[in-house]
Amino acid sequence: MKVKIPKNRLTEEKVTVYNKPKKVYIPLISGNDINITILVNKGEYVYKGSIVGKRKGNFRIPICSSVSGTVIGFEDRTCFNGEKVKCVAIENDFKEKIEIKSSVKKSINKYNKEEFLEKLRENGIIGMGGAGFPTYVKYESKKNNTLIVNAAECEPFVTADEKIALSKCEEILEAIDAIIEINNMKEAIIAIEKDNIALKNLFDNYVGTYLKIKVVQVPNFYSVGWERTLVKEITGKEYDKLPSEKGIIVNNISTIYAIYEALKYNKPLIERIITFSGDLDHPRDILVKIGTPVKEVIEELGVRGNVIIAGGPMMGVKVLDDLVISANQNCVLNLNYSFTKESPCINCGRCVSVCPAKLSPVLIMKNNKPYLDCSKCIDCGLCSYVCPAKINVREYVRKAKRGDE
Amino acid sequence: MGPYIKSNNKTSKIMIHLMIALIPIIIFSVYKNGYIPYSKGYVGFGGLLYPLFFILIGSLTSFLTETIYGLIFKNKDFIKNSYSIFPGLFLSLILPLNIPIIVLILGSFIASFVGKLIFGGFGKNVFNPALIGYIFIVASFPSLFTTNAYLNNYELDAISKATPLTNSSLVSGIGSYDELIKPYGSLSDFFIGTVPGSLGETSALLCVVAFVYLSIVGVIKWKIPITYISTVFIINFIISRLLGVGLYYPIFSILTGGLMFGSIFMATDPVTSPVTNVGQVLYGLFLGILTVLLRFTGVEGVATSILIMNMFVFTLDRIGAKSRFNLCNSLVSLFVSVVLIFVVGIYIASESRGESKDPDFEIISKELNGDITNYVVNQKGYGGNIKSSIDIKEGNIISFEVLNHHETANKYELIIDDNYIDKLINDSDVDTVSGATITSTALKKTVINVMEDYNE
């Protein structure tokens, strides 16, 4: 069963910029990995884009400073996953000084594959749609032939991806064209939601010059933005663990823009557009630097709600107001939330019929048996959303997932 | 913790839809069992309202049982979430109208107490609570479930006690159209519900309307009634084909015995039915198989099969959960159920064919005098055995004399006035005498059974 969740409040049309944080706190976390080598000391001067830390292990992704200034220390701040993470605290000198590193090619299609991968890696490009997986790793394989650009944001309130697409359409198309040429791919498909007329019109204007790029509209139901569902909707294919099994790469559209900036300007991933919405007077999409404390941004927007949520309303986490921005966060919500009492489960089966991962949440809740494959759960929250008894079914599935490990 | 938005679904809304779906059925039951007898002068004003009173008492009893229990042992939330009128409400709609009200109260109490509270209250029960109450009453007071128990005062007179109708235990043998349907009207009467039966179960039409309504608002597990009713129809269709009886037989089988009401309201009770798609389909299939089988052995079909299958919901959901990933997990069970459908159909057909012996028929003596065979036989009529003497010469009946009978005098007079016996001698396929259906049917059967024995 496909559930349509209303988009709810829409943000103001214009994207604004917040680039004056007095201090930034760069989270030392890449994806979900907090094993980061710290590469700066207290008191050291850093440029905008300087490397402050590097991920340990196989994925050698650097973490870069988003401002130029002095490192004043290391503090713990809350991050997109709701947990406290060690951050590099930098005092902004507002000079936006950058360091010239390696050179760039004027026509970004002219990079060869090795140079392409290296540019992605050294600029710290990670998946900005949620998981934060190092993007260059996805492109390492030679067997990819389709690129799906995910501009189908299905969580209510979130409009960040739409705004980057509207404002940077030409650049994004140029990047996509470069990617498929460098990696010898057959085609690229941009996925947008059916209701989104503005995006469709915009892409229709430009996409004609790019023969290998198609725009496909997907139906507007929740969890269509999930990788597995999107691949199935567009290509009809199903895969076991990764879309690369079928030669498909899925990238969030904000990630594509970050790739563009990396290839064109050697600019690392240090800022992004984030939706600030919910019960605010002025819900807006704002271009913020990574590490910006959310409190000072949100104060300007007229706070009316009682909780702050990192992420969307379905998959986001309630956080304290010391939240700082990371690269794979796309939304900050301020909502008036009150807890609804749970009543007994009537076994209606709605949670089973909506689960995109084909699980049976009510059975997991009542029995918690391993044969019910709870590890496939993607935390989308649909089971809790549809429950008539207002039971937080997702929590039981999460508990079962942890019990499995 | 999230999600921080929730849908508009609410348990209370689901229960309200269920109540709305029942309202036409309740209104019809008051009309048919209260207003019609009242308008024809069979009962007074009290009788007009009695069906409503019956339903109210049932609902009130289960409500009080669970509420008092909740006040003593539990808390306000328990009471608020118990929706306690439903066990008693459903029970009052499936019990016969003419039982003593105290029996209804007892059944309603048992439905709530044993059916729900003992398991831990709403949402925790394994068995359908109303059916627990029902089976308890059937087992403890079997004598209450006579044919007349289901007839209201008007029907008591108009239908003059024909073949045992059976709302609960249907037709254990194969009957002809005349035996099964004609005494009560036509097949469309069975569909609309103007036939004897318990308050909620007679109108198949209103049950279907309720089903459509509940499906549109999305609060019913619709796969269950669809598969359940289809299975019963298909098996009875197979039987009808094998025995050469008409389409009326399978149609009749789904319109009676409380199948419509049971499959749409009792089998779909969310708490006691499967949650997975495959689980629901298997549930319906096996319910259908069990119902037909149980009916054939003379036991109540619908309530018993639902209570039995309630025990297997856990297993069916296990198969269903695995089938979500890979449909092959359910192929074995689906295959088994399809095979059983055919096996049960063929088995019942063959058993019924072999059963050419009418249990109400008895040959007292059979003598050959020259070229005339004389039978002295007993055939059960309304008041007891009708003893007859029949002479057959060269395959034709030449005389038919009733030696002894216990039929009602004025009914038997109708037989005489109609020259019925003479008609029978000429053609055994003559219409029964209206107003004396049982007696004339018995005489007709006498001729048929004697001829059958003669021709063997």
- Judging contacts by C-beta atoms under 8 Å, the chain A residues touching residue B127 are none
A345 min Cα distance to partner chain B (Å):
6
The 3-state DSSP class for residue A335 equals strand
Q: Which residue has the higher pLDDT, B453 or A115?
A: A115
Instruction: Write down the pLDDT at residue B209.
Output: 95
Helix (H/G/I), strand (E/B), else coil: A25:
strand
Least confident of B125-129, B161-165, B245-249: B161-165
Tell me the C-alpha distance between A308 and A313, whole Å.
10
Q: Does A182 touch chain B (CB under 8 A)?
A: no
Percentage of residues in chain B with pLDDT exceeding 90?
37
Q: From the CB of residue A109, how many other CB atoms can be counted at a distance below 10 Å?
A: 14
Question: Is B70 in CB contact (< 8 Å) with chain A?
Answer: no
At B156 the pLDDT is 67
Q: What is the pLDDT of residues B290-308, one digit of tens each?
A: 999 988 887 778 999 999 9
* Interface mutation target, options A345, A368, A369, A399, chain B, most CBs of B under 10 Å: A345
Res. B157 pLDDT band, cuts 50 70 90:
low
Q: Are A392 and B5 in contact (CB under 8 A)?
A: no
What is the spatial distance between Cα B317 and Cα B279, in angstroms, rounded to a whole number?
A: 5
The C-alpha atoms of residue B133 and residue B143 are separated, in whole angstroms, by 17
CA distance A368 to chain B (A): 12
Nearest by CB to B4, from A335, A347, A362: name it: A335
Least CB–CB distance from A372: residue in B10, B274, B321: B321
pTM of the prediction?
A: 0.81
- B-contacting residues of A 337-396, CB under 8 Å? 337, 340-341, 343-350, 352-353, 358-360, 362-363, 371-373, 381, 384-390, 392, 394-395
Best of B1, B5, B66, B78 to substitute, by most chain A Cβ atoms within 10 angstroms, is B5
What pLDDT is recorded for position B377? 87
- pLDDT (average), residues B447-451: 84
Structure ipTM: 0.84
**Is any Cβ of chain B less than 8 angstroms from the Cβ of A57?**
no
Distance CA A112, CA A373 (A): 42
Question: CA of A362, closest CA in chain B: separation in Å?
Answer: 8
- In terms of CA atoms, which chain B residue is nearest residue A307? B4
In this predicted model, what pLDDT tens digit does every residue of A237-264 receive, in sequence order? 888 888 888 899 999 999 999 999 999 8
Task: Please report, to the nearest 10 degrees, the dihedral formed by the alpha carbons of residues A197, A201, A203, A209 taken in order.
Answer: 160
Confidence (pLDDT) at B182: 65
Are A115 and A139 within 8 A, CB to CB? no
* DSSP 8-state secondary structure symbol assigned to residue A11: P
CA dist A222 and B434 (Å) reads 66
Residue contact B275–A384, C-beta within 8 A: no
Pick out chain A residues at pLDDT < 70: 368-372, 404-405
Q: Which residues of B touch A352 (CB under 8 A)?
A: 275-276, 324
Judged against a pLDDT cut of 50, whether residue B167 lies above it is answered with no
Q: For B4, which of A313, A358, A388 is closest by C-beta distance? A: A313
pLDDT digits (tens, 9 = 90+) for B258-269: 899 999 999 999
- DSSP bridge pairs for A324: A293
Instruction: Give the separation between CA B268 and CA B137, rounded to whole angstroms.
Output: 22
CB contact under 8 A, A385 and B7: yes
What is the per-residue pLDDT for A371?
60
Residue A3 with chain B: CB contacts under 8 Å: 7
A105-160 pLDDT, tens digit per residue, is 778 888 888 989 988 998 989 988 888 888 998 898 888 889 999 998 888 888 88
- Segment B169-193, tens digit of pLDDT: 344 455 666 566 666 777 788 888 8
Q: For the residues B151-161, what does the mean pLDDT come to?
A: 64
Contact A346 B14 (CB under 8 A): yes
pLDDT, position B171:
43
Nearest CA in chain B to A381: B3
* Cα–Cα distance measured from residue A389 to residue A386, given in angstroms and rounded to the nearest whole number: 9
pLDDT for B165 beyond 80: no
Q: Which of A344, A352, A385 sits opposite B6 (nearest CB)?
A: A385
Q: CA of A341: which chain B residue's CA is closest?
A: B77
Token representation of residue B81? 């979430």
Average model confidence (pLDDT) across chain A: 88
